[in-house]
Structure 1
Amino acid sequence: MSINEKLDKLKEILKEMGSVVLGFSGGVDSTFLLRVASDVLGDKVMAITASSAAFPQREMNEAIMFAGNNKIKHKVIVSEELDIDGFSQNPIDRCYHCKKELFTKISQTAKEEGFKYIIDGANVDDKGDYRPGMDAARELGVRSPLLEAGLNKADIRALSKDMDLPTWDKPSFACLSSRIPYGQEITREKLGMIDIAEQYLLDKGFRQVRVRHHGEIARIEVAPNEREKFFSLNLMDETASKFKEIGFNYVTLDIKGYRTGSMNEALNKE
């Protein structure tokens, strides 16, 4: 199936739904889906973004701006993961509990507002990694139109570029809790450290960034083609100083660079 045929199928799926509420993060996938849904369904679309300690303000601002610029109904709700029983202990199914909480709240809003379906931005590529959050979504009847239409990340970026969406080349993002190894407690303090550290690297011009929190050690991941930027002694010294100011005693660079689901690599060895 060609990319345009997939897009046509997506539009057909959305048209059949009639009205939808989208869990909207402001990322590549959900932004594309929101735009297409708005084009197809008009005011029968509502975006909901969850505010929490694990969701950086910069991402929230971008989500609010996109919805506002496109005149799409948008609500911000509080879905604080740290209040979910057992979440802070960081079990391997952490995302399941988070998504269950989030989509339960979105479902309540959808019923109150009279929308028929709840949708998310999962796509074909999401099937290739450990994503317990998708199980929670399915249990609650959440549909994934991008996945149903056979669209993968490359398709979504290409179509987003054709549509002049600002997110077409936006780096991938996952909640800050994903920076902490399974089994290590998630706290507001750790999430705050990660947020500040990643913002520092973004301000330095890095585009794809992860700061993994390993206790007193910060493990920096940047895009493979950005690793050579750290060959600057001044940048290394400045980064070490900044990260120690944030609260890390040791600062390391992952020489392999950023890759999706690096925290799941330990699971795959079991």
Structure 2
Amino acid sequence: MTEAPDDMGTDAGGKVTATMSELEQAILALESVAIGFSGGVDSSLVVAVSVGVLGRENVLAVTSRSETLPAHELAAACDLAAELGVRHEVIQTRELDCDDFRANPPDRCYHCKSELWNRAGDLARRTGLRHLADGTNADDAGDTRPGTRAGDEAGVRHPLADAGAGKDMVRRLARKMGLPNWDKPAQACLSSRFPYGTEITREGLRRVEEAERYLRELGLEGFRVRDHGDLARIEVGEDSIASLAGNSRRRRITERFRELGYVYVALDLQGFRSGSMNEVL
């Protein structure tokens, strides 16, 4: 669970109210929209506000069913879409059929998002929706995000960024709206678990998904399993490092990971960092 700032429940200086107003205006200008919906807090906020200001008939949430998306994340997105009362389409994408994606270059996400937005654009045109939008927020400019370039080329709008809402503000707004995932840790597709230049394969994706499923069953949140071939490098929050290294847990994790085919199992002492594979760029 994400730790909330001490003043999460307050509206110091009316900033939360003002940002919500700007977000509503940015979305209202779209008139009708298909939104890339992952089930994370960013896209959930865009969907919830869009339904509120544009009406259900003018909003479509679009989720990609892909081998790079953990099954539990797809199920959670479908459940949340139903809870938000938004029309929801799940489209099949086949990133592994793309040689440029499978080779796992630093711009891998560009090839993935290009397919997503091409398919979502076709869907929007068939259903008479004027625009595409996503959950890119004002903080995302500080990270390596080739996927955003693919969205820009497809004309995708970024209402959160347009309203100046960074991640902390997104969580404030989501909590104010009563969204159940306001504190959900950031997620990334399974292909982000592999070093650039390592081929993305179905077998590798399944192995990482099973490894992370096991850690969730142990009660962990906010972690990643980075796949370095024979070696699995586990990133957890700094407050979880000591407990994970305890004898009982350490033996159980090592045994399970070796069953999955890893020879070495390592605990990263730097702790969990979103996008840590970008540190080599």
Pair in the same fold by TM > 0.5: yes
**Structure 2 residue 206 is matched with structure 1 residue 206:** no
TM-superposed deviation, 1:71: 2.1
**Equivalent residue of 2:88, what SS?**
strand
Give CA-to-partner distance per residue, 1:184-211, whole Å, 9 cap, x none.
1000001001101111111111110100
Partner amino acid, structure 2, of 1:9: E
* Alignment correspondent of 1:70: 84
Say yes or no: does 1:181 pair with 2:195: yes
Percent identity reads 44
Measured after TM superposition, the shift of residue 67 of structure 1 is 1.1
Shift of 1:42: 1.3
Matched position secondary structure for 1:53: coil
Where in structure 1 are there 5+ consecutive unaligned residues?
none
Which string of whole-angstrom CA distances, capped at 9 and with x for unpartnered residues, describes residues 76-128 of structure 1? 00012101232111011100111111100000000000000000100011100
Partners of 1:101 and 1:16 lie apart in 2 by 26
Match of 1:11 among 7, 24, 40: 24
CA displacement 1:223-256 (0-9 Å, x = unmatched): 1222122132010000000000111111000001
State the 1:3 CA deviation.
2.4
Residue 151 of structure 1: which of 136, 143, 165 is its match?
165
Match of 1:150, SS state, is coil
Pick which of 159-168 and 204-213 moved more.
159-168
Any unmatched runs of 5+ in structure 2? 1-13
Paired amino acid for 2:197: G
Residue 135 of structure 1 corresponds to which residue in structure 2?
Answer: 149
For normalisation by structure 2, the TM-score amounts to 0.93
2:54 to 28, 41, 61: 41
| Equivalent residue runs for 1:155-234 within 5 Å | 155-234=169-248
> What one-letter code is carried by the residue in structure 1 that aligns with 2:235?
E
Q: Secondary structure at the match of 2:235?
A: strand
Aligned length: 267
Matched with 2:275 is 261
Where do residues 109-124 of structure 1 align in structure 2 (5 Å cutoff)? 109-124=123-138
Matched, 1:241 2:279: no
Whole-Å separation in 1 of the counterparts to 2:111 and 2:178:
35
Amino acid at match of 1:255: L
Q: In structure 1, give the amino acid aligned to 2:212.
A: E
C-alpha change, 1:85 and 1:231, in structure 2 (3 Å) is closer
Work out which of the residue numbers 41, 44, 51 in structure 2 matches 1:28: 41
CA distance in 2, matches of 1:55, 1:168: 20
Counterpart residue number, 2:9: none
SS in 2 for 1:124: coil
Q: What's the counterpart of residue 99 of structure 2?
A: 85
- Report the 3-state secondary structure (helix = DSSP H, G, I; strand = E; otherwise coil) of the residue aligned with 1:218: strand
Cα displacement (A) at 1:261: 1.3
Measure the CA separation in 2 of the matches of 1:100 and 1:221: 29
Q: CA RMSD in A?
A: 1.0
In the alignment, which residue of structure 1 is the partner of 2:10?
A: none
